[in-house]
Every structure is written in C-alpha cells, then in structure tokens.
Amino acid sequence: MSKNIKVNAAILIIGNEILSGRTQDTNTSTLANWLNSIGVKVAEVRVVPDEEKIIVDTVNLLRKNYDYVLTTGGIGPTHDDITAKSVAMAFGKKYEIHKEAFKILESYYKPGEFNEGRQKMVWMPEDAELILNPTSGAPGFSVDNVFCLPGVPSILKSMLGGLKNKIVGGEPILSLTISLKTVESEIANSLTKVQDQNKDVEIGSYPFFHAGKLGVSIVIRSENQSKIDECNSQILKFVNEKKIEVVDR
C-alpha cells in the first residue's frame, strides 16, 4: 500500500456498561492515539449495547465505510459476550471452535481448569486470525478489516503490539500544540483567518482550566510538516501582535 494514501478507521465500543455510565470508556483514546501514531485517522466512534442485531448491522456498515474497524468488548466467557458470534453473523461465516485458540488456552490453564466457561472464548468466526493476548491468554481475532479486542483497558493495551503488521497506516498524522494564556474569543477571528488560508490543515481550539491556569490550546494537525509550520508561524504572528503569552501545557 502506498504510503501517501489516507487511511481511516472506525472504533466500535460494545457494552451496556458504557451506555449506562457505570464504566468510563478509556479504550477510545488508547486506540485513537495508537492509530494516529501509525498513520490511521479515526473517522467515527460508536458505542452500542450488547444486542446481536445492532452489533451485526453496525459492523456491516462500518466495515464497508472505513479501511479498518476496531471493536472493544464482548469477547469474554459470559452470556453478555456476543461480539464473536455477532461478527461471524455479519460476515455470514460459521461460529465455531478456533483450533489454534483452543490449543493456546488449553496450555495456558492448569489441567482441569479449561472449563466450559473458558472454552466459550475459543468460539470465533470461521478462519478468524488471532490477535495474541500476552496478559490473560484469551486471544482477540480479526476477520478481514474488522479487529476484535477485549474491553478491559490493560489487556487491550497489551495486545496492540500484535496488530502492528496487520493494520497498515498511511502518512503519520503530525500535530503541533500551541498553548496560550488567553480566552478563545480573543483569538477566534484571527484563527478563523488562518484556517481559511489553510483549508487542508485541521486546526482545533480547546479552552483549558488546569491546575489553576486558564488558557487555550490550539492544535494543528496534518500529514505535512511544512503545512503545520506555515500555520504555526501565522498563528505566532497574531499572538505576538496581540501580546498574548505562550504557555506550557
């Protein structure tokens, strides 16, 4: 794949516990940061409940619209873990015991401990490719462009290394942050002009209130460093003219 192609992805968070507010999702930012670092832009995130039809329909929509789909959650041993079955249905594939996953878990657990509950975790879509799990044994899997990871953040993080050669990004997305001791309304018009003159660069403005400091972070994002540099100098020009202080953030 050519390195200058823009590559995108969707993240699909599966789990009632996120929708109820009981659990604070952190996997989105983990995955988004990692995807960005390998040149994949996250175009959309959805959070859906543990309901088969919704998961099937959403997987089928997202996998057609984006280069990659990463799902989190629903691959454990309990009744509410229905991601593997739903992904099999989405692809019209059999849902069956994955022989390699079976061997991995059979040797991971002590003799007699690989019980029926645990064996549910080796049921996957036919011909799924495994994503190895260095933390707790049970692998994730991928089918075509859909990559299924667990919901527990520490386990998910430990599995990203196993995706490195499977998800191929484009040009890395570079970013530069300029933090200012000001409020957004003071810079809004000047920043709009910079954005208008650099339409293919993503410029975001984010107020912050942090450790007693109040200010605005301007984030410039592009695959092209020279475009970032150009925006940076245009921004610093009006910042100097307005005698606004640049601060660390």
Q: Given the rule CB under 8 A, which residues bind a copy of itself?
A: 13, 15-26, 28-36, 41-50, 76-80, 115-118, 120-121, 152, 154, 173, 175, 184-189, 191-192, 195-196, 202-207, 209, 219, 221
CB of 46 to a copy of itself, least distance (A): 5
CB of 127 to a copy of itself, least distance (A): 25
Tokens for 144, please give them: 């075509």
CB of 12 to a copy of itself, least distance (A): 11
Q: Determine how β-strand 146-149 pairs with β-strand 68-72.
A: parallel
- In the complex with a copy of itself, the residue whose CB is nearer, 127 or 213, is 213
Q: How far apart are the C-alpha atoms of 120 and 80, rounded to whole Å? A: 12
- In the complex with a copy of itself, the residue whose CB is nearer, 39 or 143, is 39
- In the complex with a copy of itself, the residue whose CB is nearer, 145 or 195, is 195
- In the complex with a copy of itself, the residue whose CB is nearer, 124 or 143, is 124
- In the complex with a copy of itself, the residue whose CB is nearer, 80 or 96, is 80
Q: Determine how β-strand 245-247 pairs with β-strand 174-181.
A: antiparallel
Q: Determine how β-strand 68-72 pairs with β-strand 7-14.
A: parallel
CB of 91 to a copy of itself, least distance (A): 22
User: In the sheet where 174-181 sits, what is the strand order?
Assistant: 202-210, 213-222, 174-181, 245-247
- In the complex with a copy of itself, the residue whose CB is nearer, 93 or 195, is 195
Tokens for 225, please give them: 């460093």
CB of 67 to a copy of itself, least distance (A): 15
CB of 143 to a copy of itself, least distance (A): 23
Q: How far apart are the C-alpha atoms of 105 and 131, rounded to whole Å? A: 13
Please provide the size of the chain in residues: 249
- In the complex with a copy of itself, the residue whose CB is nearer, 219 or 247, is 219
Q: How far apart are the C-alpha atoms of 22 and 38, rounded to whole Å? A: 31
Q: How far apart are the C-alpha atoms of 172 and 246, rounded to whole Å? A: 27
Contacts with 15 (C-beta within 8 Å, 6 or more apart), sequence order: 23, 47, 49, 50, 72, 73, 74, 151
